[in-house]
């Protein structure tokens, strides 16, 4: 058995979710017989991360900034501490949707959209497709995502986003099958878990719908034509490889009229009781402890 540290908490907008993910991972590792220590990362104790250098592996259960954006990965690299999940560059690129779009633009279909940078005047914003989605380029858990139905709402949402973030993305709101596709590495091969279909009771899969029990229905495996499912599996593997992800990741998108509209890739998917990845693993016959074991065994190689 190994000495494994679990980093969770952090100081992003997703701290609460990370605490739940980290707690689940911690208890799973204990059940697997590992020697586990938990590290609730806060700004006031960040200097103590160096103490983790005695660990054989760090399981990163941080979501959002400093967790998924490559920063904690870079710090652990500087200490020569192995960790779960994607490496620095992959994490940073996947976290910033604008960079992700640039890399994947010839390989996936995106919803029609535009990028709005801080300082851009609203009267130069040419967009007349409604309803539309406004979202920050660097955020997770649907935080900061707004659906708008007219130009007045659009301007308000973009201004609000740019008051907090450097860049806003405006996209056509596509109503179709919302799919979550989890990819894990197992025995040096990519395994796509049963595809999860998300059916939120709200207008879209926002933060409340994601993390409030009873607010969303899930269908796993999703109701898909066999040929469509096969294409989605191959497409997901291709995205995982092109983005140079490692160990595990989750790809989100909308299927409409047999076209898969890519939305984002998450390099540290949620590991809460309501999260997509554990649900897909369960549908594969893999319980949470077994899922964590697969991730850890790949990371320890």
Question: Going from the N-terminus, what domains does the chain have, and what CATH number goes with each?
Answer: 3-85 (3.40.50.20), 94-108+176-300 (3.30.470.20), 113-172 (3.30.1490.20)
Most confidently modeled range among 62-71, 135-144, 224-233, 272-281 = 224-233
Residue 290 and residue 277: Cα distance in Å, rounded?
Answer: 13
266 is an active site residue: yes
- The secondary structure element, H or E, covering residue 65 is none
pLDDT in tens, 11-52: 988 899 999 999 999 999 999 999 999 999 999 999 999 999
pTM of the model: 0.91
137 is an active site residue: no
Q: Are 53 and 99 in contact (CB under 8 A)?
A: no
Residue 131 and residue 148: Cα distance in Å, rounded?
Answer: 6
pLDDT in tens, 87-138: 999 999 999 999 999 999 999 999 999 989 877 777 778 888 999 999 988 7
Whether 141 shows a pLDDT value over 60: the answer reads no
Among the listed residues 86, 270, 276, 280, the single catalytic one is 270
211 is an active site residue: yes
Among the listed residues 70, 182, 205, 211, the single catalytic one is 211
pLDDT in tens, 177-193: 999 999 999 998 999 99
250 is an active site residue: yes
Q: Are 46 and 99 in contact (CB under 8 A)?
A: no
CA nearest neighbour of 49 among 27, 19, 71: 71
Q: Rounded mean pLDDT of 66-88?
A: 95
261 is an active site residue: no
CA nearest neighbour of 131 among 160, 162, 171, 173: 173
**How far is residue 107 from each of residues 115, 228, 250, measured CA to CA in Å?**
19, 17, 17
Q: In what order do the strands lie in the sheet with 3-9?
A: 35-41, 3-9, 57-60
293 is an active site residue: no
264 is an active site residue: yes
Average pLDDT across the chain, whole number: 92
2 is an active site residue: no
Among the listed residues 171, 250, 253, 276, the single catalytic one is 250
- Chain centroid to Cα 113, Å, comes to 20
Residue 271 and residue 15: Cα distance in Å, rounded?
Answer: 13
In the chain, where does DSSP find H-type helix?
15-31, 71-78, 88-95, 97-104, 151-162, 207-211, 226-242, 276-283, 288-300
């Amino acid at each position: 058995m190994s000495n494994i540290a679990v980093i969770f908490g952090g100081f992003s907008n997703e701290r609460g979710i990370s605490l739940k993910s980290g707690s689940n991972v911690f208890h799973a590792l204990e059940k697997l017989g590992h020697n586990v220590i938990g590290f609730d990362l806060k700004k006031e104790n960040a200097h103590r991360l160096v103490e983790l250098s005695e660990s054989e592996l760090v399981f990163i259960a941080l979501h959002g900034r400093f967790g998924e954006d490559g920063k904690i990965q870079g710090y652990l690299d500087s200490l020569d501490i192995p960790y779960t999940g994607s490496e620095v560059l992959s994490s940073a690129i996947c976290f910033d949707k604008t960079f992700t779009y640039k890399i994947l633009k010839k390989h996936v279909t995106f919803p029609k959209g535009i990028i709005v940078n801080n300082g851009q005047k609203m009267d130069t914003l040419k967009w007349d497709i409604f309803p539309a989605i406004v979202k920050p380029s660097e955020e997770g858990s649907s935080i900061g995502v707004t659906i708008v139905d007219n130009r007045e709402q659009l301007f308000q949402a973009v201004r609000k986003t740019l008051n907090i973030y450097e860049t806003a993305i405006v996209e056509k709101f596509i109503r179709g099958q919302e799919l979550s596709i989890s990819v894990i590495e197992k025995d040096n091969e990519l395994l796509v878990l049963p595809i999860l279909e998300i059916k939120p009771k709200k207008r879209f899969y926002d933060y409340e719908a994601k993390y409030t029990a009873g607010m969303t229905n899930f269908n796993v495996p999703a109701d898909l034509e066999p040929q469509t499912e096969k294409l989605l599996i191959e497409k997901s593997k291709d995205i995982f490889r092109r983005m140079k992800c490692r160990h595990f990741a989750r790809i989100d998108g909308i299927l409409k009229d047999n076209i898969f509209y890519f939305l984002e890739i998450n390099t540290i998917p949620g590991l809460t009781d309501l999260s997509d990845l554990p649900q897909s693993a369960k549908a594969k016959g893999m319980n949470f402890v077994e899922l964590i074991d697969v991730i850890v065994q790949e990371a320890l190689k």
